[in-house]
Amino acid sequence: MPGLIASGEPHDDLTGAVQQIILSSSESDYLDQLIPLLKNAHTQTQVTPLIQALNHVSADREAEIQRICNTNHQEFINSVNQLQSVREGTVSLTSEIMELSRSIEATTEKLAEQKKALVDSRGVRQNIDDTTQALKDCLEVLRLANQVYDLLSKKSHYAALRALDELQNVHLREVTRYKIAELIERSVPATQRLIAEAVMTDLNTWLYRIRESSQFLGEVAFYHTEMRRDRQKKRQETDEYLGSFKINSAVELVADEEDEEDVLNNEAVQVDFSPLFECLHIHDNLGQMDKFRADYAATRRRQKDLLIPQSLDLLDEESDGLSSLLEGIAGFAIVEKATMDKTENFRAQADVDELWESMCQSAISLISVALDKVENDEKLLKVKGVIALFIQTMDSWGYSVNSLDGLLLTLFEKYAGLLKKRFSDDFQEILTTDDYMPMPINDAEEYTKVVNVSWYTPPEGQEDPQSLTYPCILPFSQMYPLVCIDIRNFLNQIYLFSDDHFKHATIIDSTLRQSLDELLVEKVCRSLLERLNTQYPGQIIQILTNLDHFELACKDLEGLLVEARSTSSAAGAITLAATKEFRAAKTKAEKRLFALINSKIDALINTAEFSWTLPDSGPQEVSDYMQELTQYLAITMSSVLLGLPEQIKEQIYTDALGYINKGILTMPLDPAVVRISAASAEAYALDVQHLVQFVENLPEGKPELLGSLEELRQTSDLMRLAAAGNGEDFFDTSKSAQRFGKVDKIKGAELLEKVEVKKSSDMPRSPTFAAGEGGGSSGFAFNNLARHAAQGSSLADRLGRFAQRDRS
């Protein structure tokens, strides 16, 4: 066998493979080694060496086993002997064990009897222990049940609820097999209702106390708002920028943070929300939150209704009724807002706002009805102050105050109406009691006061009161400064309404302007116009002077209104209708004064007994009527018109002289005057010359005044020229335009027809006056006119031809 394996290299390879097969630990390894050999065994020649190699290995193994057995034979024999001795010992031990087993069996039977007795006694004891434990558990349940009622009696509602919850969820489960558990379980809902009713009773007591203390709480809130106002005023005095902000503005709230106090918890009042929180927690644990929320809302609505009285009296001296009402509403609303802030999902914002709006509307209705009885503006201002304090307080708590702003607007309209009525009565009294005389001033102090309260600018050189001589006279009457004082007071009273919370500043500005216009136009201007019916020129002149000063005051007042109006108002100038009315009234007063002066002038002219047929040797002196007329003008200008402004005075002078000019011109043109003698023409010219000289000698004499008499002067010169026989110069264009440009052509021709020429014996002879002399000269005017008249030509025809010749 060894020779077969060692015959070549293939056999060596097979031997190694067989060794690996033999050493394999498992059949899988054995197959893994055998498979490659089988795959390579393609021929019988290759298989045979493999078999031989396996046989060789097998023979080696058998030889090795034989060797081992031959070596250990004696030891094997010894082992067998030892096994036999062990078996004999085992048999003896078995018999002993059997005896011991029988002994144990007997003992066990006795022990079993004792054990049975012990088990029976333990069962009894267990029953006793179970009964004792059951009694203990039931007693604990009863103790907890009684504890719930004890806690209820001590007002520890939440502790009672916790004890009941522990009893129901812990202790009752331990005694569910006992009847007492069923009884207590059935009583739990009733006990829960008792707890809920007890906590609601406490809450209702708390709500009652809150309602009773709402007014005091509101009073404290008002007080804190007033303190904030004072602090803001102090900031305004020290810092203009901070002072420009209103109460409850962001800047004011930040500036007031250090001084802010808790309205609900301070030295004066403490509002404890513990009863509400306890009630909330208990109802939440009971699962009755929705019901509690609805009950609480209904209770608050009923309490809100109890706050509102049936009627309100605003006529009491301190406005206690209004203050109490608004303080109660404020306290109620503050508690509502605090409740909403301190709880979560308990009080809806819509419910709180609904209560607030309901209380506001009720208060507005009561105040609106009570306002009808208020007829005093100062009382109304106090009412506004209380309402404004209420608005500012509630605005700081985040409530909407739009409806209350509307109430303030209604109050302002009422307030403005009462002010207008009061100042209207004052104006009427001032106008009625005025003496319509220039105002006398006794000393510098009085002068300063009058100038300061009036819109009056002293003339140049009179600015310093100490430099004046007293007593002195101011141009206006005493009604003017009194009305100015009332106007200033009216302005201050109107703007007092906007000192506190009032968002309608533009309405104040517009109302003030309209009210001033109505007062000045209806009560001042028209009242002065009604007094123009007097027949005393001095009174009319004083009215005219007052009107002039009122017009100037209105212009200054327009500037004052621009400065005083709020920044939110529209920009631009303010124009008072009263300015135009006073200007128109001045014109009417001037016309009335003109009418009075002209009527006097008419009377003087009508009293003139002027003779138009004076002989040539008649008196050569000024007529009486002309002397009276100039004397009247002198008195009027030096005394009556003395207080008028220069512009108005000059206008009156001009108008009066113009009227005189017209009145004296109509005298010779009267149809009743058929012929005017030369002496009468000379006397007429003498009167006119006297009037012209009077005007020239006036201190205020100006070319404009003389211009008013220019037509009269030229007419008198024409009549004098006609009397001298030189009337044809009027028809000479080159001469007439220079000397008689103001004379109407028709009236001039008519006068030339009326004026008689002086007798020839009294006049120097001149070629111009000789009939038919002068070549191309037109000849003597009267002869020409007489000749045209003889030919049947009318005066209009003659003047038409005269005008045609002038144009050519």
Q: Token digits for 262?
A: 């808790």
Let me know whether 435 and 476 are in one domain. Answer: yes
* pLDDT over threshold 80, residue 101: yes
Domain for residue 128, yes or no?
no
More confident residue, 74 or 116: 116
| pLDDT at site 377 | 86
Q: pLDDT tens digits for 414-465? A: 888 888 889 989 988 998 888 888 889 888 889 999 989 988 888 877 778 8
| pLDDT at site 766 | 35
Q: Which domain holds residue 569?
A: 416-576
| Distance of alpha carbon 78 from alpha carbon 669, whole angstroms | 201
Q: pLDDT band for position 654 (50/70/90)?
A: confident
Let me know whether 358 and 427 are in one domain. Answer: no
| Distance of alpha carbon 208 from alpha carbon 214, whole angstroms | 10
DSSP letter assigned to residue 589? H
Q: Token digits for 661?
A: 């000019």
Let me know whether 206 and 324 are in one domain. Answer: yes
Let me know whether 333 and 237 are in one domain. Answer: yes
Q: What does each C-alpha distance from 231 to 195, 224, 268, 384, 661 come to in angstroms? A: 49, 10, 20, 21, 75
The average pLDDT across 12-17 equals 63
**Among the three residues 20, 49, 71, which one is the final residue of a domain in this structure?**
71
The lowest-confidence range among 477-486, 604-613, 762-771, 790-799 is: 762-771
> Do residues 557 and 515 touch, judged by C-beta distance below 8 A?
no
Let me know whether 393 and 420 are in one domain. Answer: no
Q: Is the peptide bond before 671 cis (omega within 30 degrees of 0)?
A: no
Q: Token digits for 412?
A: 């302002």
Q: Token digits for 441?
A: 């001033």
Q: Say what percent of the chain tops pLDDT 90.
A: 6
Nearest 5°: CA angle at 417, between 415 and 418?
65
* pLDDT over threshold 60, residue 60: yes
Q: Is 638 exposed, middle or buried, given 0-12, 13-18 or 19+ CB atoms closer than 10 A?
A: exposed
Q: pLDDT tens digits for 183-233? A: 666 666 767 677 777 777 878 888 888 888 888 888 888 888 888 877 777
Domain for residue 235, yes or no?
yes
| pLDDT at site 203 | 80
Q: pLDDT band for position 582 (50/70/90)?
A: very high
Q: pLDDT band for position 52 (50/70/90)?
A: confident
Let me know whether 343 and 205 are in one domain. Answer: yes
Helix segments in 607-758, DSSP class H: 624-635, 646-666, 678-696, 703-707, 710-723, 733-739, 745-754
Domain for residue 223, yes or no?
yes
Let me know whether 541 and 634 are in one domain. Answer: no
Domain for residue 148, yes or no?
no
More confident residue, 273 or 319: 273
Query: What burial letters (b/e) apply to 760-772, b meaning 16+ CB within 10 Å?
Result: eeeeeeeeebeee
Domain for residue 430, yes or no?
yes
Let me know whether 423 and 382 are in one domain. Answer: no
User: Secondary structure of 530-548 in the HEC alphabet?
Assistant: HHHHCCCHHHHHHHHHHHH
Closest C-alpha among 534, 630, 507 to residue 589:
534
Query: What burial letters (b/e) apply to 24-62, b meaning 16+ CB within 10 Å?
Result: eeeeeeeeebbeebeeeeeeeeeeebbebbeebbeeeee
Binning the chain into helix, strand and coil, the percentages to the nearest 5 are 75, 0, 25
Q: pLDDT tens digits for 263-279? A: 888 777 888 888 888 88
Number of domains in the chain: 4
* pLDDT over threshold 90, residue 485: yes
Q: pLDDT band for position 792 (50/70/90)?
A: very low
Q: What is the DSSP string of 282-306?
A: HHHHHT-HHHHHHHHHHHHHHHHHH
More confident residue, 243 or 672: 672
Q: What is the pTM of this model?
A: 0.65
Domain for residue 177, yes or no?
no
| pLDDT at site 124 | 84
| pLDDT at site 222 | 87
Scan for tokens 């009941």, then name that residue.
Answer: 164
| Distance of alpha carbon 711 from alpha carbon 294, whole angstroms | 101
| Distance of alpha carbon 800 from alpha carbon 722, whole angstroms | 21
Let me know whether 225 and 365 are in one domain. Answer: yes
* pLDDT over threshold 80, residue 44: no
Q: What is the DSSP string of 9-31?
A: HHHHHHHHHHHHHHH-SSHHHHH
More confident residue, 667 or 71: 667
Query: What burial letters (b/e) apply to 77-105, b meaning 16+ CB within 10 Å?
Result: eeeeeeeeeeeeeeeeeeeeeeeeeeeee
Q: Token digits for 183?
A: 């009884």
Q: Token digits for 468?
A: 């004046």
Q: Is 657 exposed, middle or buried, given 0-12, 13-18 or 19+ CB atoms closer than 10 A?
A: buried
The average pLDDT across 1-19 equals 51
Let me know whether 420 and 396 are in one domain. Answer: no
| Distance of alpha carbon 689 from alpha carbon 712, whole angstroms | 10
Q: Token digits for 25?
A: 């630990």
CATH number at residue 712: 1.20.58
Closest C-alpha among 279, 274, 304 to residue 292:
279
> Do residues 716 and 685 touch, judged by C-beta distance below 8 A?
yes
| Distance of alpha carbon 58 from alpha carbon 83, whole angstroms | 34
Q: pLDDT tens digits for 734-777? A: 777 778 888 888 888 888 888 888 654 444 433 333 222 333 32
Domain for residue 428, yes or no?
yes
- Residues linked to residue 440 through DSSP beta bridges, in sequence order: 473
CATH number at residue 466: 1.10.357.30
Domain for residue 168, yes or no?
no
- Residues linked to residue 265 through DSSP beta bridges, in sequence order: 270
Let me know whether 422 and 551 are in one domain. Answer: yes
Reduce the DSSP state of residue 270 to 3 states and report it.
Answer: strand
Reduce the DSSP state of residue 755 to 3 states and report it.
Answer: strand
Q: Is 357 exposed, middle or buried, given 0-12, 13-18 or 19+ CB atoms closer than 10 A?
A: middle
* pLDDT over threshold 80, residue 165: no
Let me know whether 424 and 360 are in one domain. Answer: no
The lowest-confidence range among 155-164, 321-330, 369-378, 524-533 is: 155-164
Reported as type and span, the H/E element at residue 441 is strand 439-441
